[in-house]
Amino acid sequence: MNSSLERFQKDFKALKQFGLLENGGATRLAFSQEDLAAKAWLKQAMEAAGLEVSQDALGNFRGKRPGLEKNLACVMLGSHIDTVPEGGHFDGTIGVLAALEVVRTLNDNNIQTRRPIEVVNFSAEESSRFGLATMGSKAMIGKLNPSVLKDLADKNGISLYEALEKGGYPPDALESAKIGRDEIHSFIEMHIEQGPVLENKNIPVGIVTSIAAPTRFKVSILGRADHSGNTPMDMRRDALTGAGEILLGVEQIASCEAGKKTVGTVGYLYVTPGAMNVVPGQVEMGIDIRDVSMADKDRAVKKVKELFAKISAKRNLKITHEILCNDKPVALSDKIINTLKDTAQELNIPYWVMPSGAGHDAMNMAKITDTGMIFIPSRDGISHNIAEFTRMEDIRKGMDLLLKTALKLAQE
Ligand SMILES: [Zn+2]
């Protein structure tokens, strides 16, 4: 029994049309017209595969393939189909379409499972429009604060609440999006890697052990803006050179002084006044530190704070920071990891066991059920970019692994 790559590709091509850009990329922001149209298409495709589709207040779709034993908890498979602006066509979508293909393959082969299998499409995984990521899965595990519906708005001032209403979803019924722990047996998300590791190792499938979590700082560095000609070097309070020391320090801490898997990034600098003939008086910078180990991340964060104090004293700068988030890394289920490994061996699919540096809906689902992730290589490690690309032959291997693993779990 094998899944049909041809049928998957047909779906892939159909879904690609929603939000397709002239440059070949995709813009399908959460609850935009393009996203809603893609969802309508997906709902139809799920129904055509015989699934009983339900949608909740956040616009998550769950499509159920009943099991032989009606009241057993389901095996859930899926991901998301919204994108970042000018994104690619593989991020999220391949996980939803592969889940759909799993169900159709079982249908083709008249295979009944003990447990129901559900295909899920989570809403608003990307934070691009409303500034908050994985909102659909957060709502599903009961961790989306109702206040965000009215507090969050896009850059045109449209609140999440309004966007949901416009999409035909009932935002006031947020509570109903919650899934009971007794309803779900396990969850698997297949997703592109969004990094270069698998391609470099020439391995078609990654089995994810844990999902790294970020600590994010907004840092303000205050010096003094001065004339670039008349201010001697030893009399300056240059906020940008201070920022330069901090950004190199963050690199040093993440590379050598924290954990083996720590990554640290200064993603932006806003320099004020930003003129060639003025010593920069003020800088705002954003720092993102991630790790799969909370202890290693805590150590890196502590060192970054010490760095602020050191640079502040050395350069006579006022450095203040605000911690925007300090999330806990998530370990995925050993049971699912082992089932994926065993199944990959049975199928002769080479695999690599690895952490995920990016967040996914799976990190929310892991809080309520046994959760696993399958990674498929990204060409050149590129994602959130129109150049995002993943080979169909690798997707086929991931899909077969998803199918056989889901089947084992659904017979438990
Ligand atoms: Zn994604």
User: What single string gives the DSSP state of each residue in 220-240?
Assistant: EEE---EETTTS-GGG---HH
Helix (H, G, I), strand (E, B) or coil at 117: strand
Distance 360 CA to ligand 1 centre (A): 6
**Rounded CA separation 92/379 (Å):** 16
Distance 125 CA to ligand 1 centre (A): 7
Pair 246, 379: CB distance under 8 Å: no
Distance 341 CA to ligand 1 centre (A): 23
CA atoms within a 13 Å half-sphere pointing along the CA-CB vector of 172: 0
Q: Are residues 186 and 47 part of one domain?
A: yes
Query: What tokens appear for 275 in the block?
Result: 């003129």
Q: Are residues 368 and 317 part of one domain?
A: no
Q: Are residues 199 and 59 part of one domain?
A: yes
CA atoms within a 13 Å half-sphere pointing along the CA-CB vector of 216: 11
Q: Are residues 206 and 116 part of one domain?
A: yes
Query: What tokens appear for 368 in the block?
Result: 């309520």
Distances (CA, A) of 240 to 101, 159, 244, 276, 312: 53, 36, 6, 12, 12
List the one residue out of 61, 76, 36 whose CA is nearest residue 139: 61
Residue at which a domain ends, from 303, 326, 349: 326
Distance 138 CA to ligand 1 centre (A): 15
Residue at which a domain ends, from 306, 326, 346: 326
Distance 90 CA to ligand 1 centre (A): 8
Q: Are residues 319 and 255 part of one domain?
A: yes
Neighbours of 312 (CB within 10 A): 17
Query: What tokens appear for 341 in the block?
Result: 């490994």
Query: What tokens appear for 27 in the block?
Result: 């813009």
**Rounded CA separation 325/218 (Å):** 10
Peptide bond into 204 cis (omega under 30): no
Distance 307 CA to ligand 1 centre (A): 33
Residue partners of 58: CB distance under 8 A and separation at least 6: 123, 124, 135, 136, 139, 140, 144, 164, 169, 174, 177
Distance 48 CA to ligand 1 centre (A): 25
Distance 188 CA to ligand 1 centre (A): 14
Helix (H) or strand (E) holding 370: strand 370-376
Q: Are residues 403 and 385 part of one domain?
A: yes
DSSP string, 69-80: STTSPEEEEEEE
Q: Is 278 exposed, middle or buried (0-12, 13-18, 19+ CB in 10 A)?
A: middle
At how many degrees (to 10) do helices 93-108 and 5-16 cross? 140
Structural domain span for residue 229: 213-326
Distance 134 CA to ligand 1 centre (A): 9
Q: What angle do CA 333, 190, 298 make, to 5 degrees?
A: 50
List the one residue out of 74, 53, 58 whose CA is nearest residue 368: 74
Residue at which a domain ends, from 279, 308, 326: 326
Distance 85 CA to ligand 1 centre (A): 13
Going by the DSSP 8-state scheme, the letter that residue 131 receives in this structure is S
**Rounded CA separation 258/302 (Å):** 10
Neighbours of 153 (CB within 10 A): 16
Distance 191 CA to ligand 1 centre (A): 7
Distance 114 CA to ligand 1 centre (A): 30
- Determine the residue type at 81: I
Q: Are residues 249 and 183 part of one domain?
A: no
At residue 1, the pLDDT reads 83
Distance 363 CA to ligand 1 centre (A): 12
Distance 315 CA to ligand 1 centre (A): 41
Distance 348 CA to ligand 1 centre (A): 27
Pair 60, 138: CB distance under 8 Å: no
Distance 298 CA to ligand 1 centre (A): 26
State how far Cα 272 lies from the chain centre.
33
Neighbours of ion ligand 1 (CB under 5 A): 91-92
Instruction: Tell me the helices (H) and strands (E) count for the chain, helix number first.
Output: 12, 15
**Rounded CA separation 183/335 (Å):** 18
Q: What is the pLDDT along the chain (412 residues), one digit of tens a residue?
A: 888 999 999 999 999 999 999 999 999 999 999 999 999 999 999 999 999 999 999 999 999 999 999 889 999 999 999 999 999 999 999 999 999 999 999 999 999 999 999 999 999 999 999 988 999 999 999 999 999 999 999 999 999 999 999 999 999 999 999 999 999 999 999 999 999 999 999 999 999 999 998 999 999 999 999 999 999 999 999 999 999 999 999 999 999 988 889 999 999 999 999 999 999 999 999 999 999 999 999 999 999 999 999 999 999 999 999 998 888 999 999 999 999 999 999 999 999 999 999 999 999 999 999 999 999 999 999 999 999 999 999 999 999 999 999 999 999 9
**Rounded CA separation 1/34 (Å):** 35
Q: Are residues 39 and 169 part of one domain?
A: yes
Q: Are residues 134 and 20 part of one domain?
A: yes
Q: Are residues 66 and 37 part of one domain?
A: yes
**Rounded CA separation 42/174 (Å):** 22
Q: What is the CATH number of the domain that holds 390?
A: 3.40.630.10
Q: Are residues 222 and 276 part of one domain?
A: yes
Distance 18 CA to ligand 1 centre (A): 17
Distance 373 CA to ligand 1 centre (A): 12
Distance 386 CA to ligand 1 centre (A): 14
Q: Are residues 153 and 89 part of one domain?
A: yes
Which pTM does this prediction carry?
0.89
- Determine the residue type at 332: L
Q: What is the CATH number of the domain that holds 268?
A: 3.30.70.360
Distance 92 CA to ligand 1 centre (A): 4
Distances (CA, A) of 98 to 44, 46, 232: 16, 12, 63
Q: Rg for the chain (alpha carbons), in Å? A: 23
Region for residue 7 given its phi and psi (left: phi exceeds 0; alpha: psi -120 to 50; beta: otherwise): alpha
Instruction: Report the number of distinct structural domains present in the chain.
Output: 2
